[in-house]
A and B are shown apart, each in its own frame.
Chain A
């Protein structure tokens, strides 16, 4: 070692820093790239969460101001008063997610595997609703489903309204101001979030695998069940999460398309914050919703076993 260093002369001192410097610079690069995003999350996610958390533990009223008292009891009070809204929100969001999956999967499959040169046009059409505001589009649904509109007339003449009424999705023989309208609105508004991840995973699906399944005696139904579906599961998981999570917290659809019996938790939080001005209750409800979604999603992702895939 010493002999080597002696014969090499000044070699090591020259090459040493030269080889080490890029490595040291390289070590900083990931952090430098992460920094803006982390800063953003710190300011716009962590800070509001902390504020919201402390707000939920305050007592007082708007006129005299709120003071932090560590009132944990607000959480049980909120749960007691609003558990039906929480359950309803999860139920509506889950229904909308299932509907969006049923509608979105065939469409995404067609776009990814069969559409050929129409692929890009169809993709643009799927994203097109985002060019106008969420609120405007939901308001438009009020017009479409209005009691004297053609959709209701058609639904009445085909017996759809009576069917919906019989299964309890609507209260009378119209469509608006009902569970049905709220779930349809949620499905419509979040459908693109279902289609895009499904499309991405189905687009990657090698059609030769489906061909191979057919070659190995799988009927088209079996080939779908054994090959196409399992290979598209990452897209299904991503799509259902992207649909379910925002749908569970949504407050526009239930307000514009529902009635007093279809109030969702997002609508309660909205009105507690902006109308009743009971900030601690609204903040507590926000945290309850957040926790609920995190738990549900964690259970769901574990069950779906995405790590098993490829």
Chain B
């Protein structure tokens, strides 16, 4: 096995079994030092359990956890150089904000605890509330205290368990940017657990999409979005139109011809899994165009619903075989359709992606949100 002199976090075959239920199936994962990593998935997918095993709050039933060359699988939480920002913040109510932030440093006998804690509070722009009790602060401020309390210890790995879940939308957006800034400033490894796909994509360098105790796909946000490897990922990260199709043969310019509902469509060859003949052809709603200028792939249908949302308009277009495609058009001055209009929907070959048809079409749909 290769040596890892750096501070990479390595999970090898990490497993968690509760009685008859397997929360985390054997998981192998390397999270590079200094990266912003997101574990994304619906509730109950095992992401929080994974996080708690890294923190030492949950004992794995199998596998190993290493930070660099140090094995920490069975060490106690207080012996690990890992800190957590809890979903509930878990600030100590009987201590001042400053005492909360100093807590970890004091336990390790740091002589400069006070100065470092003050510095950490400045980092999250809360220097002026150091003497207050947590209960006197707003939710957003408490959240930042929790972050300062973890960051100040300069852990090898900082774990964030749905840290923004309790904040309202506007504050959440603000904190997303703030978190990203702080991560870049301190250069620590952040592992962020969330069920919010937008949050994960905004902040993380790398995302692991988890479902039912397994990692479905690992990659940077753009790859996950443009080239999902499963229907679960396609549906959980944003929306997808999925058409049942059969591979018909090779086309021109590195394309593949597929046949969906008696229509020949083109898709980039490297977007099609090599061994599949029965596929689900996916296209993101914003890649579809109303009209024929979108590309060589064309389908005709009738608009059944139009909903206007300011920057964009979302159309539902019913295909002759009954399926409804979602089309999202920027409101950039181009022509609009109305309900009942017969329209052509078009897209380019490079915007399609093909998935193995042997999986549920609607995996990950309900959980999205």
**Residues on A facing B (Cβ under 8 Å):** 206, 208-209, 211-219, 222-223, 226-227, 230-231, 308-310
A310 touches B107 (CB 8 A): no
Q: How far is the CA of A199 from the CA of B240 in the complex (A)?
A: 53
User: How far is the CB of A291 from the nearest CB of chain B, in Å?
Assistant: 33
Which B residues from 249 to 299 make CB contacts under 8 A with A?
Answer: none
Q: Which A residues are CB-close (under 8 A) to B108?
A: 217
Whether A208 contacts B88 by the Cβ 8 Å rule is yes
The answer to whether B86 and A213 touch across the interface, beta carbons within 8 angstroms, is no
Establish whether residues B84 and A227, one from each chain, have CB atoms under 8 Å apart when the complex forms. no
Q: Could you say which of B79, B86, B153 contacts A212, with CB atoms under 8 Å apart?
A: B86
Given contacts A218-B107, A222-B107, contact A211 B57 (CB under 8 A): yes
Using A215-B84, A216-B83 as known contacts, say yes or no to A209 and B104 having CB atoms under 8 A apart: no
Stretch at the interface among B90-98, B204-212, B329-337: B90-98
Least CB distance from B296 to A in Å reads: 56
Contacts of A309 in B (CB 8 A): 94
Q: List chain B positions with a Cβ less than 8 A from chain A.
A: 55-57, 76-79, 82-84, 86, 88, 90-94, 103-104, 107-108, 135, 149-150, 153
Whether A212 pairs with B78 at a CB distance below 8 angstroms is no
Residues on the A chain within 8 Å of B55, using CB: 215
Q: Which one of B77, B88, B135, B149 contacts A214 once the chains associate, using CB atoms below 8 Å?
A: B77
Task: Identify the closest chain A residue to B102 (Cβ).
Answer: A216
The 6 closest A-B pairs by CB, nearest first: A212-B90, A216-B104, A217-B107, A214-B77, A208-B90, A217-B78
Cross-chain contact of B92 among A217, A222, A227 (Cβ < 8 A): A227
Are A216 and B94 in touch, CB under 8 angstroms?
Answer: no
- B94 lies within 8 A of A211 (CB): no
Residue in B77, B79, B93, B150 with the greatest tally of chain A CB atoms within 10 Å: B77
Apart from the given pairs A212-B91, A226-B103, 15 other A-B contacts in the complex at a CB distance below 8 Å: A206-B90, A211-B57, A211-B77, A211-B86, A215-B56, A215-B78, A216-B149, A216-B153, A219-B78, A222-B78, A222-B107, A226-B92, A231-B93, A231-B94, A310-B93
Cα A226 to Cα B104 with chains together (Å): 12
Q: Is the CB of B103 within 8 A of A214?
A: no
A254 to chain B, nearest CB (A): 39
A308 to B133, CA, bound (A): 11
B93 touches A215 (CB 8 A): no
CB-CB under 8 A from A231, the residues of chain B are: 93-94
Q: Is the CB of A214 within 8 A of B90?
A: no
Task: Report chain B residues within 8 Å CB of A308.
Answer: 94
Which residues of the other chain, B, contact A226 by a CB distance below 8 angstroms? 92, 103
Q: Are B107 and A215 in contact (CB under 8 A)?
A: no
CB distance from B98 to the nearest CB of A (A): 14
The complex places the Cα of A308 from the Cα of B93 at a distance, in Å, of 11
Complex alpha-carbon distance, A212 and B82, angstroms: 11
Shortest CB-to-CB span from A203 to chain B, Å, is: 16
**In this complex, which of B76, B93, B150 has the most chain A Cβ atoms within 10 angstroms of its Cβ?**
B93
| Chain A residues closer than 8 Å to B79, beta-carbon distance | 217
Q: How far, in angstroms, from A217 to B108 measured CA to CA in the complex?
A: 7
Identity of the chain A residue whose Cβ is nearest the Cβ of B93 in the assembled complex: A310
A1 → chain B, closest Cβ, in Å? 40
A262 to chain B, nearest CB (A): 40
Contacting pair A209 B78 (CB below 8 A)? no
The CA-CA distance from A13 to B104 in the complex, in Å, is 65
- Is the Cβ of B86 less than 8 Å from the Cβ of A310? no
B135 to chain A, nearest CB (A): 7
Q: How far is the CA of A91 from the CA of B224 in the complex (A)?
A: 73
Q: Is the beta-carbon distance between B90 and A209 smaller than 8 angstroms?
A: yes
Beyond A230-B94, A310-B93, A310-B135, is A216–B107 a contact (Cβ under 8 Å)? yes
Q: By CB atoms of chain A within 10 A, which of B57, B78, B84, B108 has the most?
A: B78
- Once bound together, how far apart are the Cα atoms of A223 and B57, in whole Å? 14
Smallest CB–CB gap between B207 and chain A, Å? 24
A218 to B76, CA, bound (A): 10
User: Which residue of chain A is the closest to B89 with respect to CB atoms?
Assistant: A212
Q: Which residue of B lies closest to A216 (CB)?
A: B104
Q: Are B78 and A214 in contact (CB under 8 A)?
A: yes
B86 contacts which chain A residues (CB < 8 A)?
A: 208, 211-212, 215
Cα distance, A258 to B86, chains bound together (Å):
55
In angstroms, Cα B108 to Cα A304, docked, is 28
Closest to A308 in B: B94
Residue on B nearest A227 in the bound complex, by CB: B92
B103–A216 touching, CB < 8 Å:
yes
Chain A neighbourhood of B92, CB < 8 A = 209, 212-213, 226-227
B103's contact among A206, A218, A230, by CB below 8 Å, is which?
A: A218
Q: What's the Cα separation between A185 and B93 when bound, in Å?
A: 38
For B88, what are the chain A residues with a Cβ–Cβ distance below 8 Å? Answer: 206, 208
B155 CB → nearest A CB, Å: 10
CA distance A212 to B88 in the complex (A): 10
CA distance in complex: A178, B104 (Å): 49
List 24 contacting pairs A-B, 8 Å CB cutoff, sorted by A.
Answer: A208-B88, A208-B90, A209-B90, A209-B92, A211-B86, A211-B90, A212-B90, A213-B92, A214-B76, A214-B77, A215-B56, A215-B82, A215-B84, A215-B86, A216-B149, A216-B153, A217-B153, A222-B78, A222-B107, A227-B92, A231-B93, A310-B93, A310-B94, A310-B135
Question: How far apart are A205's CB and chain B's nearest CB, in angstroms?
Answer: 10
* B149: nearest chain-A partner, CB-CB: A216
When chains A and B are docked, how far (Å) is the Cα of A214 from the Cα of B150?
12
A82 to B52, alpha carbons, bound, how many Å? 62
B94 and A215 contacting across the interface, CB-CB below 8 Å: no
Contact call B135/A215, Cβ cutoff below 8 A: no
Contact assessment for A218 and B78 in the assembled complex, using a CB-CB cutoff below 8 Å: yes
A212 CB contacts on chain B under 8 angstroms = 84, 86, 90-92
A8 and B47 CA atoms in complex are apart in Å by 64
Residues in A neighbouring B104, C-beta threshold 8 A? 216-217
Q: Which of A209, A211, A216, A227 has the most CB of B within 10 A?
A: A216
Distance in angstroms between the alpha carbons of A215 and B87 in the assembled complex: 14
Choose among A206, A211, A213, A215 the residue with the greatest number of B CB atoms under 10 Å from its CB: A215
